[in-house]
Structure 1
Amino acid sequence: MALFTDQPGDEGLPGRERGLAMAAVMTMTTMAVFDGSMINIALPQIARSLDASLGATVWVSNGYLLSAAMTLAIFAALSSRIGFRTIFAFGLSLFTLASVGCALSSSLDMLVIMRVLQGIGGAATLSIGPAILRSVFPNRLLGRILGLNALLIGTSTAIAPILGGTILSTLSWQWLFAINVPLGIIAVILTLRVVPNNPALKREPFDYAGALLSAVTLGALIMAADAFTHPGNDDLTTAVIFASIAILSGLTFVWVQRRVTKPLLPLNIFSSSRFSLAALTSLASFVSQGITFIALPFLFQSVYGYSALVSALLFTPWPIGIILAAPHAGRLADRYSGVIISTVGLCIFAVGLALLAMLPEHAQAWDICLRSLLCGIGFGCFQSPNNREMLSNASRENSGYASGVLAIMRTFGQCLGAAFVGVMMTIYAQSSAIHISLWLAVIATVLAIALSVSRLRGYKLAAG
């Protein structure tokens, strides 16, 4: 209840309105997590229902990810010009309507188009969700609310495969999209009622060149990462082409941002070393998570011979660890240095990953679960304090941009992690590739620790 108690000098909304705004943001977060986790396990059923190949059906997932990635930075920039409430309500409405379209799709082409629209709606909300929480809650509660948000994500991640499997065993795949409709309607009503627009909207020209270049850069990176996950010379050639496009357009994007009067992404946001290091730390940590989430299903099913259901259950301790750690870490980050707490969390995460990489040839399920639980606890200790560090080191007027950077780091960290696993699968035999990938995750986490430790210079334990 402390989240909704008012104190003199509090920024943001009064207590009751905070709760309603939080409900709107977290409802959309739950929808996004459920949508990603449940749709992937439904791909075989979708392929059979729509008489499509599995290869083509993968675009049900890829179309969503690609469109979301290409528009994250654009919506983060538009939020300062149009307002948080307008962008969030638009994204929610589009996501909900596209969910209706997905449920009614009679062909794969129609379903992919609806998923692309869903991705655009998801990007509009995810790019500014943390910024809305910052604008709604006072700084003294920022770590606590971000920890609660991480708790929600962890809980949703744990429940989604079970809920998805239950729905698919009793109903058709269309219901995976239909359940978004009532949730979306409720979230839109709450958004229009209580979510604030930015205090001072900027009436300034939009950077169309920057928007195009950012979309090309982020989209090409996603396509390169996807190509790397499929072994084969043609796929590697495609990956190199897309990676080259991403590098060229990315460099051009930076060049343009330095020269336009009102850039899509103000580069001065990175002038704060604490913000920049928090962003890089987040990127490295999500590379580790991306590697692990791709490598472990192969390890569980192809090496240890577990069924798909058991493999999903073996993942459960990871989000449970986040559930146990994230709220406490967020609350502590409001009182003490979030940098220290997040660094400790990364160290625990690195130990858990190393233990997973050293799993014996015939590992027992309980042994796997304990090691995964340690990873989840470490990641839960790291994530919310680090997110607080990013958001609190950007001005309130730049909170939309900071929120967009946070979403981009998460998305591309996971994509790069998947790409690393794809490369290892191309070069090595499957068992060796899995273990090498897990050690790469450990290395990426050690890099994240080094970046995080570099922030400790001159830091005091008590938060200022």
Structure 2
Amino acid sequence: MVAILLSIALATLDTAIANTALPAIAADLNSSPAASVWVINAYQLAAVATLLPFAALGGVVGHRKVYLGGLMLFVVSSLLCTLAWSLPTLTIARVLQGIGASAIMSVNAALISSIFSHERLGRGLGMNALVVGTSFAAGPTIASLVLSVANWPWLFAINLPIGLFALVFGWNSLPVTKPGTLTFDRLTAVLNVITFGALIFGLSQAAQLGSLSSVLIAMAVFLVAGALMLRREVGHPAPMFPLDLLKRPMFALSALTAFCSFATQGLAFVSLPFFFETVLGRDPVQTGFLMTPWSVVVALIAPVAGRLSDRYPAGLLAGIGLAMLSGGMVSLALMPADPSALEICIRTIFCGLGFGFFQAPNQKAIMTSAPRHRASGASGTVATARLIGQATGAALVALSFGISGEHGPVLALSIGACFAAVGSVASGLRLLTKPVV
């Protein structure tokens, strides 16, 4: 379990650190801000596009092999990022890093399910959520501290000792899972990569206010490749895109709940810095401190929610949490013109409580509503819903700015409140749903 938590901490920290360091990277490599964004986009696109194929591969060759292979690639690509001398070389290294992170994330929940019994699974997923929340909160601070004494390559170099330790620990401690009886469909994997790669590219172009033609072409590729992928998988006993699992009401509602909640998080975390700085007039340092309570509270409440999910229904816990998150987003959008830091922090703490209450119970619901032999597909769905939800949230922030200009952050927070409310309703509906055996 230690190796799994370390690897997830690495992947989460890497995302938060790269976002914070982007201006320094752009300045050092003499790149424009628009071009340097590909340091972020390349990682995200590679990760989302390969999640489900790696999850399917885990069901064929075993989760342990996919995890260790992904961790090896992540460590090697971190070294390549450290040694990168130009934006193109750094972007290529980030693609490889995204692929490595994808392999880790795709089987993360499945490995936790194999370590913990059904009765204690909530605790394991709560520990996982604790590490994610702590890493996300610590990322900007760590990046700022490193950049104050060294240049940006050291941000990637710190992955090396931690990654090697996780690799050695995981090699000796991770459970060996039996290979599956099915074969890995390479053509379906390619179609999946094209489908989700086009989706994330289109969303990122929209988020950066790119040309309309590029967004439309990307969405057309997404629809065509997705249709071909689904047609090819008709009748497959374990489809890469988990249509068989999505036919289960409990699983489908849990996946929808996850997407809505992470879209809310994406809307909040992209719009709040603009809100604090442009609407409320706070400086970047103050903004960082005002954002921190959300992630810290998520980290603190996640283990508690995980333990509660072993006793109470996920539909109830996650429903309450997302209702709190929706209310917190509304309170942020309706904030007075000149609030104190305490007034802002109370609102972000309330949002963090709601989000933390949702995360572990919902992950448990996804994993336990799928049959044991489809643990890989369920695990891949957890990570896919999270990343696509966050990307959707970021794109909607850009749309909000296009519609409302300087009032864009308020509109984005309002949209986030609506997503959280829909997620709360979807979660509550699970209380009326009978599990499929």
Q: TM-score, normalised by structure 2?
A: 0.96
Distance 1:455 1:282 in 2: 13
Give the superposition deviation at 1:235.
2.1
1:206-247 superposed Cα distances (whole Å, 9 cap, x missing partner): 22222112111111111111111123xx52332122122212
CA contact 1:258–1:267 (8 Å) conserved in 2? no
Q: 1:69 aligns with which of 48, 68, 83?
A: 48
* Distance (whole Å) between structure 2 residues aligned to residue 283 and residue 186 of structure 1: 33
Instruction: Spell out the pairing of 1:287-366 with structure 2 (5 A cutoff).
Output: 287-366=263-342
How far 1:262 moved relative to its partner?
Answer: 6.0
Counterpart check, 1:209 vs 2:184: no
8 Å CA contact retained: 1:207, 1:263: no
CA displacement, residues 336-364 of structure 1 (integer Å, 9 cap, x when unaligned): 21221111111111111110111112222
Structure 2: tracts of 5 or more residues without a match = none
Measured in 2, the distance between the counterparts of 1:393 and 1:307 equals 46
SS at 1:298's partner residue?
helix
Deviations for 1:428-458, whole angstroms, at most 9, x for unmatched residues?
212x211111111111111111211111116
Mapped pair 1:228 → 2:206: yes
Judge which range, 395-404 or 266-275, deviates more.
266-275
- 8 Å contact 1:30–1:153 — kept in the other structure? yes
The total of aligned residue pairs comes to: 436
Provide the C-alpha distance between the structure 1 equivalents of 2:173 and 2:147, rounded to a whole number of angstroms. 36
Question: Which stretch of the first structure deviates more once superposed, 91-100 or 330-339?
Answer: 330-339
Tell me, yes or no, if the aligned pair for 1:257 and 1:266 is still in contact at 8 Å: no
- Detail structure 1 runs of 4+ shifted over 6 Å in the superposition: none
TM-superposed CA distance for 1:298, in Å, is: 0.7
Contact 1:67 1:116 in 2 (8 A): yes
AA paired with 1:163? I
Q: Is the 8 A contact 2:192 2:226 kept in 1?
A: yes
Identify which range, 52-61 or 274-283, moves more after superposition. 52-61
Aligned equivalent of 2:362, options 386, 390, 395: 386
Tell me how far apart the structure 2 counterparts of residues 382 and 221 of structure 1 sit (CA, whole Å).
Answer: 26
Q: CA deviation at 1:58?
A: 1.1
Cα deviation, 1:250-276, whole Å, max 9, x if unaligned, reads 222222211557633452222321111
The answer to whether the 8 Å contact 2:106/2:379 transfers is yes
Contact persistence 1:84–1:195 (CA under 8 A): no
Q: Aligned to 1:140, which of 119, 129, 132?
A: 119
Q: How does 1:176-325 map to 2 (within 5 A)?
A: 176-199=155-178, 201-231=179-209, 235-260=211-236, 263-325=239-301
CA contact (8 A) 1:206 1:264 kept: no
Counterpart check, 1:375 vs 2:375: no
Structure 2 letter corresponding to 1:283: F
Map 1:27-42 to 2 at 5 A. 27-42=6-21
CA contact (8 A) 2:318 2:424 kept: no
Which stretch of structure 1 is more off in the superposition, 34-43 or 317-326?
Answer: 317-326
Partner of 2:410: 435
- Among the aligned pairs, what percent are the same residue? 37
Secondary structure of the 1:316 match is helix
Shift of 1:289: 1.0
Distance of aligned partners of 1:175 and 1:458 in 2 relative to their CA distance in 1, 3 Å threshold: closer
Q: What amino acid maps onto 1:193 in structure 2?
A: N
Distance in 2 (CA, whole Å) between partners of 1:102 and 1:256 is 37
Q: Which moved more, 1:84-93 or 1:319-328?
A: 319-328
1:108 Cα deviation (Å)?
Answer: 1.4
2:238·2:374 contact (CA, 8 Å) conserved in 1? no
Please give the alpha-carbon distance, in whole angstroms, between the structure 2 residues aligned to 1:423 and 1:284: 17
Change in Cα spacing, 1:260 to 1:145, as seen in structure 2 (3 Å) is closer
Aligned match of 1:450: 425
Map 1:413-424; keep pairs closer than 5 Å.
413-424=389-400
Q: Note the aligned Cα RMSD (angstroms).
A: 1.7
Q: Deviations over 1:287-320 (max 9, x none)?
A: 1111111110110112222221211111111012
The aligned counterpart of 2:94 is: 115
Say if 1:425 and 1:396 are closer, same or farther in 2 by CA, change over 3 A: same
Letter aligned with residue 420 of structure 2: T
Q: What is the aligned partner in structure 2 of residue 13 from structure 1? A: none
